[in-house]
């Protein structure tokens, strides 16, 4: 569950409410992975991305928990890469949050850049443990999220920041 301060203008930010669509062609491997995922869970992923050391399976929001029940089995079958389940949602804000399901996101801040083609979004967390989860080992997960966003959606950079209380 994600909670935000009432005075936060997060939901009013037009950049975070931007509708997102993935534009990509599926490889044969991704089609095979989608078929495997469907056979196991009876949930058809809306998108599959094979990037770096990860397989990302995007599933419709309403089928997320049904698909999540089969995630451990899928991870055992695919041992050479990390498997991530992501909710496929139409808004950038919800998509960003679905990339980090195990992290309590305190706030999302949009940094204005002189270069209008590039958007920087800062994910604010409250503990160093959550920051470590969001960034991943040696920064691998945050780099993956940035690659996905930049390659398939728009020139968006995501950073994580620790807010001290």
Tens of pLDDT, residues 9-51:
445 577 777 777 777 788 999 999 999 999 999 999 999 999 9
- Provide the domain count of the chain: 2
Q: Are residues 77 and 62 in the same domain?
A: yes
Q: Is 19 a member of any domain?
A: no
What is the rounded CA–CA span in Å between residue 6 and residue 28?
46
Q: Are residues 146 and 78 in the same domain?
A: no
Residue 75: CATH number of its domain: 3.30.300.20
The confidence score (pLDDT) of residue 4 equals: 37
Note the pLDDT tens digit of each residue in 85-112.
Answer: 999 998 889 999 999 999 999 999 988 7
> Is residue 125 within 8 Å of residue 103, measured between CB atoms?
yes
Q: Are residues 162 and 96 in the same domain?
A: yes
128-135 and 140-152 are packed helices; what angle lies between their axes, rounded to 10 degrees? 50
Q: Is 153 a member of any domain?
A: yes
Q: Are residues 94 and 49 in the same domain?
A: no
Q: Are residues 70 and 98 in the same domain?
A: no
Q: Where is the domain boundary, 46, 69, 88? A: 88
């Amino acid at each position: 569950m994600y909670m935000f301060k009432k005075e936060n203008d997060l939901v009013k930010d037009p950049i975070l409410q931007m509708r997102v669509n993935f534009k990509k062609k599926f490889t044969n491997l991704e089609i095979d992975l989608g078929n495997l995922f469907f056979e196991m869970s009876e949930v058809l992923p809306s998108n599959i991305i094979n990037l770096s050391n990860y397989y990302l399976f995007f599933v419709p929001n309403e089928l997320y928990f049904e698909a999540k029940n089969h995630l451990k089995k899928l991870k055992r079958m695919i041992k050479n890469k990390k498997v991530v389940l992501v909710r496929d949602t139409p808004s950038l804000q919800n998509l960003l949050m679905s990339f980090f399901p195990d992290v309590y996101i305190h706030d999302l801040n949009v940094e204005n850049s002189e270069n209008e083609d590039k958007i920087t979004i800062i994910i604010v967390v409250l503990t160093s443990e959550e920051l470590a989860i969001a960034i991943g080992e040696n920064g691998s997960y945050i780099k993956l999220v940035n690659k996905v966003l930049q390659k398939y959606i728009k020139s968006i950079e995501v950073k994580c920041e620790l807010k001290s209380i």
